[in-house]
Amino acid sequence: MIAMTVMLLALGIVSMVLSRAMAVKARESRTADALATAQAAISVLSREISNSGFGLYTDNFNKKASNGIVTAESNAHRIRVLSNVDHSGGVETDTDPLALRMLTPGEDVTYFFDATTSSIVRYDPHGVETSPGVYGPQTSVVVNRISNVTFEYFDYAGGTSQAVGPSAAPTVDTARVRITVDVELDQVFGQPNTQHVIFASDVTLRNNSYMLTQY
């Protein structure tokens, strides 16, 4: 009886240790998956956001480079960026930078967080060619299983290298954007509830007038 009792106690301890080890392994696996998801999301966003403002000017007289961010439609959880990749549209005498109509894929892109589907969504009003030379809207999910995405804006103006920010809204002087992706981990038995992986990266808007003077 004593031997059986000792054996049962030993088996119970071993079972408890194995259960905790498996829980830790599952947690680490989910953490790695979440980190990979966050990194993939930031990689996709960074590529297009960094090109914002390419080929654009605040006006055609002073030829001051534009950062390409549509300030009226950008905030902490949404960003719309423009770039004139094809160097087409508009007329040289028009001082309105938006006279350069962004009519081809990748020139007018909006990223936003959709809480309903827990995903980062990319919207391009001219993302898919519906007929030769004619483009229609395209909405696609960049990555899902996201808890939140936040955009923070840093402004640079004049000759100073000191940034103003971060701010929840961009301005014409915004030259750097911080993207933060928050991924909530799936619950693992035996581990604390509501664990998160947060991954952030700064994206330099290299076409901004301030950044152009730094090269």
Q: What is the pLDDT of residue 127?
A: 87
Mean pLDDT lowest for which of 16-30, 39-53, 101-115, 163-177? 16-30
Pairing of strands 148-155, 174-184: antiparallel
Q: Is the pLDDT of residue 102 over 90?
A: no
| Domain encompassing residue 116 | 2-212
Q: Using an 8 Å Cβ cutoff, are 102 and 82 in contact?
A: yes
Q: Is the pLDDT of residue 96 over 60?
A: no
pLDDT digits (tens, 9 = 90+) for 14-41: 566 555 655 555 555 655 666 676 777 7
Residues 188-208, mean pLDDT to the nearest whole number? 74
Task: Say how many C-beta atoms besides its own lie within 10 A of residue 100's C-beta.
Answer: 23
Q: Which residues pair with 82 in a beta bridge?
A: 108
The residue ranking higher by pLDDT, 159 or 82, is 82
Residues 151-173, mean pLDDT to the nearest whole number? 85
In angstroms, the CA 50 to CA 124 distance is 16
Report how many domains make up the chain.
1
- What does pTM read for this prediction? 0.76
Residue 124's pLDDT band, with cuts at 50, 70 and 90, is: very high
Handedness of CA 59, 72, 168, 114 (dihedral sign): negative
Q: What is the pLDDT of residue 91?
A: 47
Q: Is the pLDDT of residue 59 over 50?
A: yes
**49: which residues sit within 8 A by CB, 6+ positions away?**
79, 81, 111, 177, 179, 203, 205
Residue 92's pLDDT band, with cuts at 50, 70 and 90, is: very low
Residues 58-85, mean pLDDT to the nearest whole number? 84
Q: Is the pLDDT of residue 171 over 60?
A: yes
163-172 exposure pattern, b = at least 16 Cβ within 10 A, e = fewer: bebbeeebee
Q: Using an 8 Å Cβ cutoff, are 142 and 151 in contact?
A: no
6-15, 21-30, 65-74, range with greatest mean pLDDT: 65-74
Q: Which of 130, 107, 120, 21 is nearest to 56 (CA)?
A: 107
